């Protein structure tokens, strides 16, 4: 009996140090964030105020504006999927120079976000290269104030996100495409299926898992990982005005710029809970993708 | 054939020697400083190299030359100047001397009890000469020694003024004169006024120059936040209406919304924009680059408050933490930094002025810089009113209002509405701070 118990416990003991380390590194701060979200924190601690931080956040228009902007960014995902699919399929079909193109399309993903965001920001200035080209082509009506107008700024951020994040999609999709059974595609070709029919009836059904995975990852990115884009493109303010303010930036402002760690913690908890809800479909999608590949 | 010079060391000798050195090194790290050297030690956390290159050289030189204590300095990252200090102070491990931005950026630490009042600790004459500004006073005490000044002004390009037929030595003094000058500049094909507002600082600086025009004291500004006064009152949002007027008349540069602050100022120096907002630390370089063709002025007058037209001089400073083991030693070091020899060294290292009215200005060769020091630094001046703006108001109202007016999506009146709502929001989020601000208003309303 004792022997059997020790055999069963043994594996857990092996992983215990790592679990303890993870609990300390991630678990403790998470608990503190939950605790802070119920306090009016000044400096490093403060009095307990119950749900007041949550009440204040949920009644603040700026918070909902930030949420809305995150949701608006979700609109970029269909574009990312389509672009990634299109380019990955073209690369898969080994168009001339495909190896070089593969490197080129992945470059944006390798470069740090602040670097490409700074470059893009210069490109999209009112007197920048993009507008200069448009004016040169007599398309003045398209020469917008890309980063200076509240109506346009978030869409400009979205363009940048689509450009960079599509690179990940391309690589994921291409990896999946390269593992497809070419015999099936060849059979389709011999049966007279045109390019579109092959994509629609043969390729896409087999890629469903990896597309789902990419979509879920992208949703999490749009909700909880666009800070660097917004920080650089929005002049470090989520601007102009509050036009590019997102929840992450809201948290950053509350913590760093407005000395409200309690509010930042409460907003972080809300964001965390939403992200956790999204992690389950992500795991499911990943499992499905693996099963398809097997 | 020479013999090998490697000594004959056995493994035992090697291990023994290593152990001796290792123990000595470990003890050196573990033992308190007084056991290592019988001298006072001070920790100093500072910031400023980022905005004033050369400051590192001055700090290093000052520490090396100081004989009364060993000073250990650490240059802080911009993002953590306040949080790093406050966290350390809460843990009882704050440095003896801390760099402090003005106004609320250090006042919060005062309210948390992390800073020592300097009255009676630093000599009165040095404290006064360093101009810590009214924003460093609370409860009758002063919490910073001024380190270096940041005169803030409206700058203009004299060459463009000449091109438009304006007198480059007589910049506009009133709002009507400004509008007339802008019209002339515009007619001459010159973009009259503006800069870059994409990063928001232009909005802040605009408030710095314009809000005080309808204030009698900075205490009145604080009353706007604690709810005793209201931004919806026309006199408290008139400055935003004036910005709206500049926008609707087409006097602001077209790319203003997509440019950041400093590239915007560059336009003035480059002769592409006639009038902008600038800061003293830029003046030596801009003056040199344009052959002395950069002029400066206070914002043209429209308001009727007692602070209207008074030059603005913000001052960065140093304070002493409540954790300091020997506050007198820290104070002595701050006094040393204000000695005539150190003030001269400051100028030599940075090419900029120290904040001390006793500084011998004869070393300043550039007449523009000397004039700025004489007219802004030595004459009556006010500090930067945005330094008493609560962070939440700064982010939610002070910055966005300017940006939205400049892009034409908000009126001055709507800006007042947003400001009033944000002030109320701040009170809801920070009930504990309102009382501190109320007390602070008393200090800010009192004469210096």
CA distance A174 to A183: 17
Residues 223-262 (B) with a CB less than 8 A from some CB of A: 254-260
Of A95-99, B198-202, B412-416, B430-434, give the lowest mean pLDDT range.
A95-99
Cis bond leading into A240, ω under 30°? Answer: yes
User: Are A239 and B254 an interchain contact pair (Cβ–Cβ within 8 Å)?
Assistant: no
Residues of B within 8 A of A63 (CB-CB) are none
- 3-class DSSP assignment, residue B319: strand
Of B5 and B435, more confident: B435
Three-class SS string for B233-278? CHHHHHHHHHHHHHHHCCCECCCHHHCCHHHHHHHHHCCCCCEEEE
- A54 to chain B nearest CA, in Å? 11
Helix axes A153-178, A98-110, angle to 10 degrees: 130
Which pLDDT belongs to residue B114?
96
**Cβ A259–B198 below 8 Å, yes or no?**
no
Residue, of B186 and B4, whose pLDDT is higher: B186
Chain mean pLDDT for chain B: 91
Tell me what the mean pLDDT of segment A114-125 comes to. Answer: 92
Q: What is the pLDDT of residue A279?
A: 82
Q: Is A124 on the interface with B (CB under 8 A)?
A: yes
Q: Contact B430/A260, CB-based, under 8 Å?
A: yes
Give the pLDDT of residue A211.
93
| Ramachandran angles phi, psi of A293, nearest 5° | -70, -30
pLDDT at B6 over 90: no
Residues 6+ apart with CB under 8 A from B431: none
Residues 23-82 of B with CB under 8 A from A: 79, 82
The fraction of chain A above a pLDDT of 70, given in percent, is: 98
CB contact under 8 A, B90 and A124: no
Domains of chain B in start order, with CATH, are: 38-150+314-377 (3.40.190.10), 152-312+384-445 (3.40.190.10)
Region A60-72 average pLDDT: 96
Q: How high is the pLDDT of residue B446?
A: 78
> Stretch A255-266: mean pLDDT, rounded?
92
The C-alpha angle B310, B319, B82, rounded to 5 degrees, equals 90
ipTM of the complex: 0.85
- Assign B9 a pLDDT band (cuts: 50, 70, 90): low
Per-residue tokens: B196: 């870059």
pLDDT of residue A1: 53
How many angstroms separate the CA atoms of A131 and A139, rounded? 9
Pair type for strands B312-320 and B193-194:
unpaired
Average pLDDT over residues B421-447: 92
pLDDT tens-digit readout, B317-335: 999 999 999 999 999 999 9
pLDDT of residue B35: 45
Average pLDDT of the residues in B346-365: 93
A vs B, Cβ pairs < 8 A, gives 102
Q: Which pLDDT does position A241 carry in this prediction?
A: 92
Least confident of B30-44, B93-107, B192-206, B279-293: B30-44
- Measured in angstroms, the CA of A136 and the nearest CA of chain B are apart by 17
Torsion of CA A242, A247, A249, A251, to 10 degrees: 120
Query: What proportions of chain B, in percent to the nearest 5, are helix, strand and coil?
Result: 50, 15, 35
Assigned fold of A55-293: MetI-like fold (1.10.3720)
A interface test, pick of B115, B395, B397 with most A CB neighbours within 10 Å: B395
Contact A240 B255 (CB under 8 A): no
Averaged pLDDT for residues B91-103: 96
């Amino acid at each position: 009996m004792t022997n059997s118990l020790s055999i069963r416990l043994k594996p857990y003991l092996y992983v215990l140090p790592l679990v303890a380390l993870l609990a300390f590194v991630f678990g403790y701060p998470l608990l503190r964030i939950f605790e802070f979200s119920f306090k009016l924190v000044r400096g490093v601690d403060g009095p307990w105020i119950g749900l007041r931080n949550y009440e204040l956040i949920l009644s603040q228009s700026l918070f909902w504006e930030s949420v809305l902007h995150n949701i608006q960014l979700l609109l970029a995902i269909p574009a990312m999927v389509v672009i990634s699919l299109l380019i990955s399929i073209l690369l898969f079909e080994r168009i001339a120079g495909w190896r070089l193109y593969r490197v080129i399309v992945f470059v944006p993903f390798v470069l740090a976000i602040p670097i490409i965001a700074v470059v893009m920001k210069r490109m999209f200035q009112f007197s920048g290269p993009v507008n200069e080209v448009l004016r040169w082509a007599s398309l003045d009506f398209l020469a917008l104030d890309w980063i200076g107008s509240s109506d346009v700024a978030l869409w400009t951020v979205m363009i940048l996100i689509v450009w960079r994040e599509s690179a990940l999609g391309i690589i994921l999709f291409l990896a999946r495409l390269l593992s497809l059974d070419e015999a099936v595609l060849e059979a389709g070709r011999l049966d007279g299926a045109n390019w579109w029919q092959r994509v629609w009836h043969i390729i896409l059904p087999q890629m469903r898992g990896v597309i789902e995975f990419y979509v879920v990852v992208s949703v999490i990115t749009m909700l909880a990982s666009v800070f660097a884009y917004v920080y650089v493109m929005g002049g470090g303010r989520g601007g102009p005005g509050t036009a590019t303010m997102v929840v992450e930036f809201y948290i950053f402002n509350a913590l760093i710029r407005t000395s409200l760690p309690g509010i930042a913690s409460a907003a972080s908890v809300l964001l965390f809970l939403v992200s956790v809800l999204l992690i389950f479909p992500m795991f499911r999608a990943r499992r499905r993708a693996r099963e398809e590949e097997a | 054939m020479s013999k090998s010079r490697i000594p004959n060391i056995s493994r035992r000798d090697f291990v023994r020697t290593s152990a001796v050195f290792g123990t000595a090194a470990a003890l050196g790290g573990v033992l308190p400083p007084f056991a290592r050297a019988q001298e006072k030690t001070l920790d100093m956390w500072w910031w400023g190299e980022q905005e004033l290159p050369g400051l590192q050289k001055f700090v290093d030189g000052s520490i090396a030359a100081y004989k009364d204590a060993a000073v250990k300095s650490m240059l802080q990252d911009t993002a953590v100047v306040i949080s790093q200090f406050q966290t350390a102070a809460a843990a009882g491990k704050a440095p003896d001397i801390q760099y402090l931005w003005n106004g609320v950026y250090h006042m919060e630490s005062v309210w948390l009890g992390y800073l020592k009042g300097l009255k009676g600790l630093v000599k009165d004459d040095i404290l006064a000469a360093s101009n810590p500004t009214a924003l460093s006073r609370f409860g009758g005490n002063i919490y910073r020694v001024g380190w270096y000044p940041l005169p803030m002004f409206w700058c203009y390009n004299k060459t463009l003024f000449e091109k438009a037929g304006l007198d480059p030595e007589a910049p506009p003094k009133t709002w009507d004169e400004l509008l007339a000058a802008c019209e002339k500049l515009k007619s001459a094909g010159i973009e009259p006024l503006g800069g870059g507002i994409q990063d928001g600082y232009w909005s802040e600086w605009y408030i710095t120059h314009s809000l005080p025009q309808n204030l009698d004291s900075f205490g009145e500004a604080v009353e706007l936040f604690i709810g005793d006064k209201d931004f919806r009152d026309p006199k408290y949002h008139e400055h935003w209406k004036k910005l709206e007027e500049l926008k609707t008349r087409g006097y602001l540069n077209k790319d203003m919304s997509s440019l950041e602050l400093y590239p915007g100022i560059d336009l003035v120096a480059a002769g592409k924009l006639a009038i902008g907002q600038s800061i003293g630390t830029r003046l030596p370089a801009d003056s040199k680059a344009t052959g002395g063709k950069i002029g400066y002025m206070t914002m043209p007058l429209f308001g009727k408050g007692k602070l209207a037209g008074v030059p603005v001089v913000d001052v960065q400073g140093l304070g002493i933490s409540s954790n300091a083991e020997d506050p007198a030693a820290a104070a002595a070091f701050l006094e040393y930094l204000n000695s005539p020899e150190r003030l001269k060294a400051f100028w030599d290292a940075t090419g900029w002025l120290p904040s001390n009215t006793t500084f011998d200005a004869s070393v300043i060769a550039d007449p523009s810089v000397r004039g700025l020091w004489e007219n802004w630094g030595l004459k009556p001046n006010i500090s930067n009113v945005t330094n008493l703006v609560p962070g939440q108001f700064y982010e939610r109202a002070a910055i966005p209002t300017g940006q939205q007016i400049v892009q034409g999506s908000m009126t001055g009146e709507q800006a007042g509405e947003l400001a009033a709502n944000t002030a109320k929001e701040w009170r809801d989020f920070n009930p504990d701070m309102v009382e501190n601000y109320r007390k602070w208003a008393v200090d800010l309303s009192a004469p210096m």
